[in-house]
Amino acid sequence: MANTTPTQDTAAIVDQVLRLGEEADWVEVRPVGAVTKGLEGKQLASLGSMARSRSKVRVFSDDGKCVSDPVLMRRALEYVKGFGGVIAQHSQDPALTEGAQMNESTLSGELGLAGWPAVAEEAIIARDILLAKHVGSRLHVCHLSTAGSVDLVRWGKAQGVDITAEATPHHLLLTEQLAATYDPLYKVNPPLRRAEDVEAVREGLADGTIDCIGTDHAPHPARDEGLRVAGRRVRHDRPGDGAADHHRDDGEHGPHGLGGRRTRDVDCSRPDWPRGIAGPGPGRWRPRTRHPRRRHGPRDG
């Protein structure tokens, strides 16, 4: 994704990322360009120059931040349409989630944690589906997490909108009840949702509404993982997740036909994700000793 340091918002930077990936030669790296300069949501980044660069960027995202300005989002969709690009949106209305810690529910009130309403995700998805339909461009919804989001994507596809969507392993497996432990491992973005949402996301994956699984792995160094409040490290933790290390085992079983074959079919490490955008393809990952910046995840014992 583009939320690196420096931000991948110019041709020079995406080409540097491509070159570093080639030199490391662990896995094929395909840079994702930023939608806006510095991920600030104020001006479009150099989409055209990144598309024409050696990296041939075709996927653009401010992931980690939402392109909340509807005019900017419309312009981005219009721009990438010219070269068959995709805008991948982090669907989170910032005004509705300021200071949020977990899913907004009865449980968040009981725990005294600021709630993150489902509508903050769903409102952006609904808006972007309508914008993509209006301009005839391609939209990808990153890490959707609510039953309403699944319904919206299903509706958009039924309307003929060129839309794809992904879900994470943790939103297929875990619920907001884990927030009751006050363990910062369960603070993710978007937050863990209700059991009903998990069920709806699983159904969406099984019936093809959701196109792929994306780990949304967001490792942070230990020094960035927050402050302790009343002995609990929770209030200011940066959202992250180590689910990338766990999803292949946990995703093999469950209802709605989510057996191993379906899980492998929608894993975003497979080629042609999003549709028409060539992925790394089989055989490009060569496991070596891993040195992750973060060594834990929600499924650790």
Query: Token digits for 177?
Result: 């009840």
| SS3 category, 280 | coil
Q: Which of 216, 237, 241, 245 is catalytic?
A: 216
DSSP 3-state of 11: helix
For residue range 159-192, list pLDDT tens digits in order: 999 999 999 999 999 999 999 999 988 999 999 9
- Residue 287, amino acid: P
* Whether residue 216 lies in the annotated active site: yes
Label the pairing between strands 212-213 and 228-229.
unpaired
Sign of the C-alpha dihedral, residues 294, 190, 275, 173?
positive
Which residues 6+ apart lie within 8 Å of 116 measured at CB?
97, 100, 101, 102, 103, 104, 108, 190, 191
Pairing of strands 228-229, 232-233: antiparallel
Beta carbons within 10 angstroms of residue 50's beta carbon = 27
In angstroms, the Cα distances linking 154 to 30, 88, 231, 266, 295 are 28, 17, 43, 17, 36
Enumerate the H helices of 118-242 as residue ranges.
118-135, 147-158, 169-173, 195-207
Whether the pLDDT of residue 242 is over 80: the answer is no
Q: What is the DSSP letter of 271?
A: S
Per-residue pLDDT tens over the stretch 196-211: 999 999 999 999 999 9
- pLDDT tens by residue, 97-135: 999 999 999 999 999 999 999 999 999 999 999 999 999
3-state secondary structure of 82: coil
pLDDT at 60 > cutoff 60: yes
Give the pLDDT of residue 271.
44
- Mean pLDDT computed over 283-293: 49
53 membership: H or E segment, kind and range: none
Give the pLDDT confidence score for residue 211 in this predicted structure.
97
The Cα–Cα gap between 64 and 234 comes to 19
The C-alpha R_g of the chain, in whole angstroms, comes to: 19
pLDDT in tens, 5-52: 999 999 999 999 999 999 999 999 999 999 999 999 999 999 999 999
Cα 108 to Cα 104: distance, rounded to the nearest angstrom: 6
